[in-house]
């Protein structure tokens, strides 16, 4: 089973909220996503859907994941989503989540790469996020994508008063980062192809991260 990344639509909000409620102790209201999509020109949100093997258009490596995983006429269930805000040269990841039964299948990385690529296309030169201080798995994955700890927000998560670690990836518009991202993307594509050979798996509906709250590979 292949996956496609596409812009989130207002009509996706119910499916998104189903994953949201499974993923976060303090879920956003549905109206928040609808507002972001309709009225926030600085917000960019995406969803991931499975699609039949062979439907993904992987022959356009220079156009990025959003181009390579185009929509088909057949709409499958949403298995993950993510979003970020972009202002001037800074992008900030606000949320990323994958259905809990699709943990560690690379879908979270697929969303993360798509958001980084979009931020780069908008002219951002760095991207930030928050992650729970206790979530060492997520922090490790973000480091893989060039994020480093740059600060800490005390009592940031209202459900537990846990601190947030602030992480940032710098110089994402520079050639060294572009090369690194391309390498990670190529490895992920190979991993997803291998998963496809092993058969369907999307019904084992992941990773979830409210501004980096929780994520896995």
pLDDT tens track for 56-112: 433 333 456 655 544 444 578 999 999 999 999 999 999 999 999 987 899 999 999
Percentage of residues in the chain with pLDDT exceeding 90?
69
**Residue 71 sits in a domain of what CATH number?**
3.40.630.30
**Residue 14 falls within a domain, yes or no?**
yes
> Which residue, among 122, 128, 157, has the nearest Cα to 142 in the 3D structure?
128
Check residue 63 and give left, alpha or beta (phi > 0: left; psi -120 to 50: alpha): alpha
Domain with 17 in it = 2-124+175-209
**Residue 119 falls within a domain, yes or no?**
yes
pTM score above 0.75: yes
**Residue 143 falls within a domain, yes or no?**
no
| Beta strands 90-98; 126-132: pairing state | parallel
**Residue 167 falls within a domain, yes or no?**
no
Q: pLDDT, tens digit, for every residue of 145-191?
A: 999 999 999 999 999 999 999 999 999 999 999 999 999 999 999 99
Task: Supply the residues annotated as catalytic.
Answer: 130, 142
- What pLDDT score was predicted for residue 74? 56
**Residue 181 falls within a domain, yes or no?**
yes
The vertex-23 CA angle with 19 and 84, nearest 5°, equals: 80
**Residue 83 falls within a domain, yes or no?**
yes
- What pLDDT score was predicted for residue 96? 94
How far apart, in whole angstroms, are the C-alpha atoms of residue 84 and residue 95? 7
pLDDT range class, residue 52, cuts 50, 70, 90: low
**Residue 131 falls within a domain, yes or no?**
no
The total number of structural domains in the chain stands at 1
**Residue 49 falls within a domain, yes or no?**
yes
- Three-class SS of residue 83? strand
pLDDT at 44 over 60: yes
Q: pLDDT, tens digit, for every residue of 20-33?
A: 999 999 999 999 99
């Amino acid at each position: 089973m292949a996956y496609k990344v596409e812009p989130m639509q207002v009509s996706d909000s119910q499916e998104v909220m189903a994953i949201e409620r499974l993923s976060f102790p303090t879920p956003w209201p549905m109206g928040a996503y609808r507002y972001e999509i309709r009225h926030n020109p600085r917000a960019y949100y995406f969803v991931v859907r499975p699609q039949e093997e062979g439907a993904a258009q992987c022959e356009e490596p220079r156009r990025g994941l959003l181009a390579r995983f185009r929509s088909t006429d057949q709409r499958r269930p949403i298995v993950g989503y993510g979003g970020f805000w972009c202002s001037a040269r800074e992008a900030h990841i606000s949320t990323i989540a994958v259905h809990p039964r699709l943990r560690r299948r690379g879908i979270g990385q697929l969303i993360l790469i798509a958001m980084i690529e979009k931020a780069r296309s908008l002219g951002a030169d760095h991207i930030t996020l928050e992650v729970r201080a206790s979530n060492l798995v997520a922090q490790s994955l973000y480091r893989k994508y060039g994020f480093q700890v740059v600060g800490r927000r005390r009592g940031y998560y209202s459900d537990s008063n846990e601190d947030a670690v602030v992480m940032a990836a710098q110089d994402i518009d520079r050639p060294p980062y572009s090369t690194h991202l391309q390498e990670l993307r190529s490895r992920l594509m190979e991993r997803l192809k291998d998963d496809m050979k092993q058969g369907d798996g999307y019904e084992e509906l992941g990773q979830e991260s409210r501004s980096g709250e929780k994520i896995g590979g």
